[in-house]
Amino acid sequence: MMDIKNSDAPISTVTLDKDLIDAPTENIYEAISIISKRANQINGDIKKELLEKLDEFATYNDSLEEIFENKEQIEVSKFYERLPKPHALAVQEWLEDKIYYRNTKEEESLEG
């Protein structure tokens, strides 16, 4: 997984040059499909990491009426909320040529 804490990915919306996005595949739809799949992977990784960190500070209690406000959990949650969104991280990886992909249709036609 990329180092999301030190990524250059933007936190807010930015306009990107379409030609930069589709240059590796020469097809904007294929590029977006690849970026989307990577964003889903990143989202899953971040969610897993967040849940593991929150679980470290969890206080279990038998009473459902007692709710503990855990400052560590709140800080961890705030940290993850401030990170760039998974789609921004995936686009940044794509622009930096850090996403491995292959076209299985091309491979099939070469083999056939």
Q: What is the mean pLDDT of the chain?
A: 85
Q: Average the pLDDT over 35-63 and give the result.
A: 87
- 3-state SS string for 60-84: CCCCCCCCCCCHHHHHHHHHHHCCC
Q: How far apart are CA 47 and CA 41, in angstroms?
A: 10
Instruction: Give pLDDT tens digits for 26-43.
Output: 999 999 999 999 999 999
The pLDDT of residue 55 is 84
- Other Cβ atoms within 10 Å of 4 Cβ, number: 17
In the predicted model, is pLDDT for residue 100 greater than 70? yes
pTM given for the model: 0.79
